Amino acid sequence: MLSGEYVEINGLKIHYVKSGTEGKTILFLHGFPEFWYMWHRQLEEFGRDHTAIAMDMRGFNLSDKPPNVDDYKTSHLVSDIKAMLERFSPGRKAILVAHDWGGAVAWAFALTHPELLEKLIIINSPHPAVFLRELKNNPEQQKASAYMLMFRKPEAEALLSANNYAGLAKAVFDSSTRPEAYTDDDRRAYLAAWAQPGALTGGLNYYRASKIGPPSPVDPQLGAVTFADASSFVVKVPTLVVWGEKDRALLTGCLDGLEQFVPDLTLKRIPDGSHWVVHEKPELVNNYIRQFIEGN
């Protein structure tokens, strides 16, 4: 039975679920519009021989939800992860597993704090330099990422929460290659998390605070970020990338040239997996994670 706890970091009360007390710490980071629960099968699996922790990122579900958009800048999100690892893996390298927005934070964390990580595992979340390239040069990725512009608008909350969060439910459950993988209990858990006061705004603020996005006529600064020195975006941590190739939002072009930025890269493509491959193929995802963390 998994149960939640709280820890105070960076002045925020963060909700997390922990499984196991043995071995190295594995910290799991979710994306939008998910929460710690997306990792419940991984907690059960890896809690057997590790200290497995899945947190609600700031702004989501039962964690505190700072009110300002600037509270969701990458530097603050990275600081949250650093504080979590200092709390749960003091003086010892940890393993980071992350999906979607959690992956964006994990990439940034690995670039700024490689000394704190033993291994990095990313699931359907592009390296920032590769994603920026695709958003600038790939019309198909620009089209696939158009939702990011909608999520930045003031009316996004109303659109996504209408009719009992029908927009979010469609984005998650209906775009899966295996909608039946979500049980009635799963769907109820997601609806409850989305309905937490302020949670939808907290999640959308990740998009509003970001400087990366598709070209926008109303926001010329969006996507204007440039990486003058590509070498500063090289990840110096052994990295596994698992990718569901039927992801409608993040296309497989996000994998092209990835080895330039991740020299120690293991790539596992799942041809019939979508963005929600963690739900669709939990056993396969767990096998890939275990093979990687137990390898030399």
Residues classed as catalytic: 100, 207, 275
CA nearest to 103, candidates 140, 134, 131: 131
Cis peptide before 33 (omega within 30 of 0): yes
End-to-end CA distance of the chain: 32
DSSP conformational letter for 63: S
d(CA 121, CA 30): 12
Determine contact, residues 95/60, Cβ cutoff 8 Å: no
Contacts of 101-106 spanning 24+ positions with Cβ under 8 A? 101/30, 101/31, 101/32, 101/57, 101/125, 101/206, 102/28, 102/29, 102/30, 102/31, 102/57, 103/29, 103/31, 104/31, 104/74, 104/128, 105/29, 105/57, 105/74, 105/77, 105/78, 105/81, 106/29, 106/81
CB 14 within 8 A of CB 77: no
Question: How many angstroms separate the CA atoms of 241 and 258, rounded?
Answer: 10
CB atoms within 10 A of CB 290: 14
